[in-house]
Structure 1
Amino acid sequence: MALIATDRHILIVGLGKTGLSCVRFLRGQGHDVVVADSRIQPPGLETLQSEFPDVVLHCGPFNGDLFSQFNELIVSPGVAVSEPAIVAARQAGARIRGDIDLFREAAKAPIVAITGSNGKSTVTMLVGEMARAAGKRVAVGGNLGTPALELLADDIELYVMELSSFQLETTERLDAEVATVLNISDDHMDRYSGREEYFKAKQRIYNGCRTAVINLDDPLSSPLVRTDMTLRGFAMHSINPGIYSTREDDEGVWITRGLENLVRADTLTLRGTHNLMNVMAALALGEAVGLPLDVMVQTAQSFTGLRHRCQPVRTLDGVEYINDSKGTNVGASVAAINSLASERGKIVLIAGGDGKGADFAPLSAPVERHCRGVILFGRDAPRLAEVLTGVPVERVDSLEAAVKAAAAMAAPGDIVLLSPACASFDMFRHYEERGERFISAVEAL
């Protein structure tokens, strides 16, 4: 579409679900907007043309001259703020923001804000369920499910928000009632110049928050600036007053608060050490917004977790098949391997896809310690093979072939684990499609 001169002041950069939500919100506020997307046929195009036929849309490569005409850019999470056209607009004096800033300005209820490299979707959904069980009118979304601006309603009593580093890049000040960075491991290194830039983006979740919930086992979870905020913590094997932790006795492993045993780990539906951490984080977050402890514990016991996150599929010939397609980075896969490791058998790992520029080296030690072998597929299978030299490695061309190869490699008592340590976009539309294909392939065995 040809460039036209405009006296409009707000440019929405990137369409899709988030861009559409911004159009709806800003038009509802009486603002005139323009949309730009680098794709010729962006997702949401037909919806935009149907709902807002008068909104000007620029498709194709971003143009710095066009962007610099606007005094405010609302940038979708999928667009890096380092795009030259966005940099040019900033240099020309434009304010660069995102949908989360718009959401924060309009939200009338407290915000529970959750980010981290791994576990944030599980914790977000669990806190949401805890709030519902406590009788709260709660809205859950953000990076997970419903876009933030579409959650806004006058009757909502609590917002529980999953936020990605991409969303936080354009969030100036969130002012959450409680916020957490669950953990930090390398992710999205194809977008960031290094781990420090990624870490700093995550840290923005603490701007203006009243209470910070810290993973005491991960120093990078701690806020860099602690002005006027209360600190709460969770950790494994760290019994201290006010801290959510774990202890082991003759009855088993317990989640504790201070010296009090709260819930035995084997009464939780969620499996794995990483999920104990997720439950502890959810309890600390819920406590910060006044949710009753007994209600939270009961909810945690019945919570079944997210589809595609350490999801049991079936047991066949003594081998258990687990779908962790949401393990889209190295840290997630390391957590899954360590959590599911068993004395009765080994893990056969299925991994591969688009590694997003990550360093695969941290996979080496847990794979060598806990895995019988690895089946690799996808774009970065060669890079993974260079690192995973301590166990037998087989490369295949498809996920279906990977499932068959893993079944042939596994022995009774083993676990076949799909935890790719990679994004899915080289072969699938998203991790959900990859997970569904895995489930279908396992059921076909």
Structure 2
Amino acid sequence: MKNQEFIKNKSIFILGLGKSGLAAAVLYSKLGAQVFAHDSKDLSGSEAEAELLNHQVKILSQKEAETIMESGIDFIVKSPGIPYHHPLIQQAEQLNKKVYTDIEIAYHLSQAPIIGITGTNGKTTVTTLLGDMLNHFSQKAYISGNIGIPVSEVVPKLTDKDSFIMELSSFQLLGTENFKPEIAVITNLYTAHLDYHGSREDYVVAKLKLLANQSPTDFFVYNADSDELSQLARLNPAQGIPFSAQEILDSGCYIKESDLYYDEEKIMDVEDILIPGQHNLENVCAAVAVAKLLEIDNASIIQTLTTFSGIKHRLQYVSQFEERKFYNDSKATNVLAASQALKSFDKPILWICGGLDRKEDLSSLLPLVKDHVKGLIACGENKSDFIELGQAAALPFVMSCDNLEEAVKSAFKWSEEEDIILLSPASASWDQYENFEIRGNAFIDAVMKLSQREKNEEV
């Protein structure tokens, strides 16, 4: 690791001890910092408490945290999801303390060049595809960040010959100051997370911190189908590399006559790409654009694109039972992501939707529901809004359920052979589940229980 003096002998306060906070606290302590930490949950007797104490991290109560903030803390590293109106963050800002997220610290420590990937949707798929391409090319790639692997776990493993691929959320980027990726990727920009940022303008400002420190020697890979991103590419000092799944481009990655191209070179036939959906063609183009910048050969790119079947919880194929196919798209936490899922199938869909009520406008989904959905089963805090959507679409089958197990049973009951049973909530999970992964696993469990129950009844 480089620049260890950024951490050594510093007094650092960690706010939030989830996976990223715990990993950060342990790393900073190992590098010679005095680390204090606080979490709203009681960690007494937990494995996390034991690990922190083993690394001389002082776990503070709320009152102790308020007191320590007044003393010689050098800076705060907060969990990305903790809002800036949190009392301890407000106290820190009043005291002119720097408030970072862990990706800022990782930037200072990393020996490997950083590839930063963000966007409203698609960033997890692009991150995973690119990592797979690099590893097929026998170049060591580490993926981390919002994808669920803490950057503080990865940084100590890196050399200058590796690639450090970070999936980055707006929450993470907001806590940066000097962070600079050699290659920045923005898949798309839509309206999201207004409950956290307050406005679309503030959400976009957070996303664009990815580009804030780039120079002419860096690269910006952007979606040329977005006028907003194309304009940013003209203004950004980094070298712009466009991609498009809709238009033929003069350079960059694009689709031409059902073939995948980079610049003027054909890479492969689009029909050989395994993951479904138009939106995934955009993700493929973004990943290939970065891969070509990194001089990955076509064989490695093709190997990934012909074998990669998707990431867990993102249009994940779960099972086929009695000629019905079940797909888990729990990571579709907003309207746009769910709309992409609905467009990905040419068979009738039994759509399981709903979750945390973020007051998102569902009206844009109406044409898709009319064209692709034969039945709607709504769960969660905002289920009444989805029921109204299904009724407006005049679907023959619309109902609400209290949980995913009931929803899966109902969807199966009203389905027919060759139908798709799709969980794509268009909502966050936090009304009923700690995260979208737990929600997706609950759906998978419900599907497995259903198939087992039906088999038992046949015996």
Structure 1-normalised TM-score? 0.89
1:104 paired with 2:112, answer no
Which of 211, 219, 222 is equivalent to 1:214? 222
Answering whether residue 330 of structure 2 is matched by residue 325 of structure 1, we say: yes
Who is 2:415 aligned against?
Answer: 410
Distance 2:407 2:229 in 1: 35
Change (3 A) 1:38 1:438: closer
Q: For 1:50 and 1:85, how far apart are their aligned partners in 2?
A: 22
Within 1, Cα distance between the matches of 2:266 and 2:383?
A: 44
CA distance in structure 1 between the partners assigned to 2:85 and 2:298 by the alignment: 44
Q: Which amino acid aligns with 2:211?
A: Y
| 8 Å CA contact 2:22, 2:48 repeated in 1 | no
Q: Deviation of residue 62 (structure 1)?
A: 9.2
The 1:294–1:440 alpha-carbon spacing in structure 2 relative to 1, beyond 3 Å, is: same
Q: Aligned pair in 2 of structure 1 residues 49, 173: CA closer, same or farther (>3 Å)?
A: closer
SS for the counterpart of 1:201 is: helix
How does the TM-score come out when normalised to structure 2?
Answer: 0.87
Equivalent position of 2:382 in the other structure: 380
CA distance in 1, matches of 2:193, 2:236: 29
How far apart, CA to CA, are the structure 2 residues paired with 1:208 and 1:189? 25
1:15 to 14, 17, 29: 17
Once residues 33 and 357 of structure 1 are traced to their aligned partners in structure 2, the CA distance between those partners, rounded to angstroms, is: 39
Distance apart, 1:259 and its partner CA: 4.6
Shift of residue 442 of structure 1? 2.5
Higher fraction of helix: 2
Mapped contact 2:29–2:57 kept (Cα < 8 A): no
Shift of 1:270: 0.9
Secondary structure of the structure 2 residue equivalent to 1:190: helix
CA shift, 1:412, in A, is: 3.1
Alpha-carbon distance in 2 for matches of 1:87, 1:305: 40
Count of equivalent residues: 431
- Which residue number corresponds to residue 146 of structure 1? 149
Q: Does the 8 Å CA contact 1:241/1:257 hold for their aligned counterparts? A: no
User: How far is the alpha carbon of 1:29 from its aligned partner?
Assistant: 2.0
Evaluate the alpha carbon distance shift between residue 321 and residue 154 of structure 1 in structure 2; reply closer, same or farther with a 3 A threshold: closer
Match of 1:186 in 2: 191
Q: In structure 1, give the amino acid aligned to 2:418.
A: G
**Counterpart check, 1:229 vs 2:231:** no
Task: Note if contact 1:182-1:221 (Cα within 8 Å) is conserved in structure 2.
Answer: no
Q: Distance in 1 between matches of 2:228 and 2:88?
A: 32
Question: Do the aligned residues in 1 keep the contact of 2:43 with 2:49 (CA within 8 Å)?
Answer: no
2:68 and 2:29 mapped to 1: Cα distance? 21
Pair 1:39–1:293, CA change in 2 (3 A) = same
Moved more, 174-183 or 54-63: 54-63
Quote how far apart the aligned CAs of 1:240 are. Answer: 1.7
Matched letter for residue 23 of structure 1: A
Q: Deviations over 1:168-191 (max 9, x none)?
A: 110113221111121223332221
Measure, in 1, the Cα distance between the counterparts of 2:354 and 2:306. 33
Q: Is the 8 A contact 2:136 2:303 kept in 1?
A: no
Describe how 1:324-403 pairs up with structure 2 within 5 A. 324-340=329-345, 342=346, 345-388=347-390, 389-392=392-395, 393-403=398-408
Q: Secondary structure at the match of 1:312?
A: strand
The percentage of counterpart residues that share the same residue type is: 32
Residue 233 of structure 1 deviates from its aligned partner by: 1.1
Cα deviation per residue 1:44-102 (whole Å; 9 max; x = unaligned)? 642444423x4322234896564343341111212122323312322322111121111
Partner in structure 2 of residue 4 of structure 1: none
Task: Output the aligned Cα RMSD.
Answer: 2.4
8 A Cα contact 1:124 1:161, kept in partner: yes
* Contact persistence 2:250–2:263 (CA under 8 A): yes
Q: Any unmatched runs of 5+ in structure 1?
A: 1-6
Matches within 5 A, 1:17-56: 17-41=19-43, 45-52=48-55, 54-56=56-58
